Amino acid sequence: MFSGAALGAGVLIVVVLFAVAMFLVIQALPTFSAAPADITGGKGFTSYIFPIVIGTLIAAAIALVIATPIGIAVALFISHYAPRGMARGLGYVVDLLAAIPSVIYGAWGATFLASQLKAPYQWLAENMGWIPIFGGPASGTGKTILTAGIVLAVMVLPIIASLAREIFLQAPMLHQEAALALGATRWEMIRMAVLPFARGGIISAVMLGLGRALGETMAVALVLSSGPLIASLIRSGNQTIAAEIALNFPEAFGLRLNELIAAGLVLFLITLLVNMVARWIISRHKEFSGAN
């Protein structure tokens, strides 16, 4: 009975995945056979999709660079530093962050965060403009890919923090006590007994966060002032696949619709690839993880 239900659940996820993939492929096909001039931009699908693929990766990378260290630090604080009562309350709050709809994050990013970041961007452009990613002139509205990345970071933070927390809590108590008994400080104990054990789990947590960052639609669509691919993170420009689809889908028909679905297929493949790489990293690290 139970094994049947488990098998059913396992099969169902594969069927859903397969059905989605088939839908994407079939609907995307006309795009690949269309004349390059008919594709948006007039230069074929590759040159249409390339900038928004890079934009998607930039936004997700910014989100992870910010959210990963903070998420792990928050998780460590909750699992190993905070007093018990506080840890529980803090854990709830972090989990609650994950329950806020993305459109709220988007509205917050577009109306509040973007206008707060105008002045810092101006400063960056003036003082560090020689670094290409801070090249000026800074955006007048603050609605840049960096702002979008920061909003995404806030959105993936609870995912990373709560997963990492669960994993830290599962680190073997005996190892931790042994480390402390040998005279290690708390930080040394965490480095020796907790982090090695949790490495695979942390990577999984980050990958789950990355999945959210790659696929996030509304928040980016609302926050980002999109444009062509540019290196500067503080000028308006760049675009992500998910936001491109969300913005253009309502009025799209004919080939444009196929084009957007093809963009969705590309995003699907990127996510699949990212997950496979993550699995490979985890499997490489498992023998050193200390869990066995």
Partner 1 sequence: MKALHIGRMAAVLTVGALALTACGTDNAVTPGNGGTSAAAGASVSGTLTGTGATSISAAMDAWKAGFESANSGSTIQYSPEGSGAGRKALIAGAVQFAGSDAYMKDAELADAKAKCGPDGAINVPWYISPIAVAFNVPGVKDLKLDAATVAKIFRGDIKNWNDAAIKAANPSATLPDLAITPVHRSDNSGTTENFTDYLAQAAKSVWTDAKSGDWPSALPGENAKGTSGVVKTVTETAGAVTYADDSAVTDVLGKAELKVGDAYVPVTAEAAAKAVDAAKVVGGRSANDLSLKLDRTTTAAGAYPAVLVSYGVFCAHYPDAKTVDLVKAFGNFAVSDAGQKAAADAAKSAPLSAALAAKAKASIDSITVAAK
SS in 3 state form for the chain?
CHHHHHHHHHHHHHHHHHHHHHHHHHHHHHHHHCCHHHCCCCCCHHHHHHHHHHHHHHHHHHHHHHHHHHHHHHHHHHHHHCCHHHHHHHHHHHHHHCCCCHHHHHHHHHHHHHHHHHHHHHHHHHHCCCCHHHCCCCCCCCCCHHHHHHHHHHHHHHHHHHHHHHHHHCCCHHHHHHHHHCCCCHHHHHHHHHHHHHHHHHHHHHHHHHHHHHHCCHHHHHHCCCCCCCCCCCCCCCCCHHHHHHHHHHHCCCHHHHHHHHHHHHHHHHHHHHHHHHHHHHHHHHHHCCCC
Q: What is the footprint of partner 1 within residues 22-61 (CB under 8 A)?
A: 40-41
Which part of the chain contacts partner 1 (CB under 8 A), choosing from 29-37, 59-67, 103-111, 120-128? 103-111
Among 45, 105, 121, 268, binds partner 1 (CB under 8 A): 268
Nearer to partner 1, 20 or 86 (CB): 20
Taking the complex as a whole, the smallest distance from the CB of residue 156 to partner 1 amounts, in Å, to 12
# residues near partner 1 by CB under 8 A: 64
Which part of the chain contacts partner 1 (CB under 8 A), choosing from 25-33, 83-91, 173-181, 269-277? 269-277
Among 46, 47, 115, 185, binds partner 1 (CB under 8 A): 115
Which part of the chain contacts partner 1 (CB under 8 A), choosing from 68-76, 81-89, 123-131, 284-292? 284-292
Does 248 contact partner 1 by CB under 8 A? yes
Taking the complex as a whole, the smallest distance from the CB of residue 85 to partner 1 amounts, in Å, to 27
Q: What is the footprint of partner 1 within residues 145-204 (CB under 8 A)?
A: 163, 167, 170, 197-201, 203-204
List residues binding partner 1 (CB under 8 A). Answer: 13, 16-17, 20, 40-41, 102-103, 110-111, 114-115, 118, 139-141, 143, 163, 167, 170, 197-201, 203-205, 207-208, 211-212, 215, 217-218, 221-222, 224-228, 236, 246-254, 268, 271-272, 275, 278-279, 282-283, 286, 289, 291-292
